[in-house]
Amino acid sequence: MAKALVIVESPAKAKTINKFLGSGYTVEASMGHVRDLPERDIGVDIEHDFTPEYVVISDRKKVIAKLKKDASKAEKVFLATDLDREGEAIAWHLVHALNVPDEKALRVTFNEITKSAIQAAFHRPGKIDLDKVNAQQARRILDRIVGYKISPLLWKKITKGLSAGRVQSVAVRLIVEREKEIRAFKTEEYWKITAHLRPHGKTEAFDALLVQLDGKEFKASKGEEAKAVVADLEKAAYVVAQVEKEEKSSKPPPPFKTSTLQQQASTRLRFSASRTMRLAQQLYEGVDLGPEGPVGLITYMRTDSVHIAQRALDECRHLIPAQFGPQYLPEKPNRYASGKGAQEAHEAIRPTAVERTPESVRQYLTEEQFKLYQLIWQRFVASQMKPALYEVTTVQVAAGRGLFQAKGRRVLFDGHTVLSGVEKAEDEQMLPALEPKQPLDLLKLEPTQ
C-alpha cells in the first residue's frame, strides 16, 4: 500500500512531526516557498486583474522534482505547512507545482507540534483556505508593484541597491516625519529641586521632590531661579505634613502574542525582532531533548491572540500551587480578551507542556534559546497567578514656602511578580516609618536640570 506524503516547510519540523506519525507516512520538507514572482520582471499583469505570473524558485527545482515524484506515488498528500497566510500560500503553491489532484490534496493545521495536536489534525484534514491564499497573494502583488516602480527611482536619486516596499516605504516616511518634528522642537530649560531628608534622630534617609511653592505648582525654567529657591528653603524647618497610605494591586500581564514577545525580548534580552522570531521558530519546530528526541517546546509564534486552550490552563493551574504554593493560585482562571480582529482559533504563545520548566530543558538548548523559552514560560505561568498587592505611601513634607512630596511602595504580596518581575516607577523608593508633625533633618537640597 502506498504511503501518504506529508509536506512541511523545514527539515527540523519534518523530524519532529515524523515521530508522531506511523509507518504509513513519509514526511518531507519543501524548504519554504517553492514558487514566487520572477526576479527580473514585474510578474504581474496589471491590465488583466493584476494576475500574478509565478515561476519555480531556482534553488527549489530539485526539491520540486523529488516531491513531484513522491506525490505521484502517494495515496494522499497532506500539506502540513504553518497555519498563517504564508503557510496557506505555500500549501497552495505546492499543489500547483506538484500537479496534485484536488481529491488527493489534504490540508492539516496545528497550533503546536505535540503528539495530541498532530494526531487530532490528521484525523480531521480539510482543504486549502483560498481566502488566506488570496490575502497573501494581494500582499505579495502589492509588494512587487510598489517595489518594482519605486526602487529604480531610489537608485537614480540616492544610490544603487536601495529597495522600496509596501510597508517599509511608509515606515520610512513616518520615521522621517518624526525626525523632522524632533529637530524642529525648541528645547526649554526645566529645573527640579530634591530634598534629601532624614527623620530626626534616625538613620534611614529618603528623597522628596518640591511640588509647590507659595501654594502654586513649582516651575523653574532658569538655573538662577532654582538656586534662589534653594537658598531660601535651606533655612526652613522640615516637618512631615501628611502621610497617606492605600493598598493597590497589580494584575498579571496576559501571555505573549507576537508583538509583545518581540517587545519584551528586545527590552529584557536585547534581541532584535528578527532574532526573536528565528529563535521562536526553532522552539516551535522542535529541539532535540536527548531521550525524548525532537520536541516542539512552544505554540505557533505568529499570532495576535492571547487565548489559552483549556488543557493548557488546567496544566498551569496544577503547576502553580505545586511549585509556588496555593496562595499564588486565583480561585478562577485569569481570562484575557484578544484585540479586535484576532483569530480565536489561534492561541497565545505558550509552552506546549508547562511541566517542562526552563531549567529542566536547559542542557539541550543554546543560551539564546534558553533565554527566550524562559521568558515565554515565565510570562505564561505568571498570567495565571494572583495579582501582586502593595501598600502605596505618599508623604507631604512642609518646609517654609515649599511643599515637598515623596512616594514609596511596600510589597504586601508578590503574586505574579515572583515570575514577571516588579516594575518600579521612577520616583519610587523605600520610605522609613513616618508620622504627621514628625521633624526631619535636611541633609541636602539639590537643584537639577
Q: Which residues are catalytic?
A: 300
Sequential DSSP letters for 233-294 = HTTS-EEEEEEEEEEEEEPPPPPB-HHHHHHHHHHHH---HHHHHHHHHHHHH-EE-GGG-E
Residue 87 · residue 30 · CB < 8 Å: no
- Distance in angstroms (rounded) separating the CA atoms of residues 129 and 88: 7
Q: With H, G, I as helix, E, B as strand and everything else as coil, classify residue 389.
A: strand
Sequential DSSP letters for 358-378 = HHHHGGGS-HHHHHHHHHHHH
- Which DSSP helix (H) or strand (E) runs through 444? strand 439-448
Q: With H, G, I as helix, E, B as strand and everything else as coil, classify residue 398.
A: strand
- Distance in angstroms (rounded) separating the CA atoms of residues 154 and 173: 14
Taking residue 336's Cβ as centre, other Cβ atoms within 10 Å add up to: 17
Q: With H, G, I as helix, E, B as strand and everything else as coil, classify residue 99.
A: coil
- Calculate the alpha carbon distances from 215 to 190, 212, 234, 404, 447 in Å: 19, 6, 18, 11, 19
CA-nearest of 309, 332, 448 to 387 is 332
Residue with cell 540616492: 158
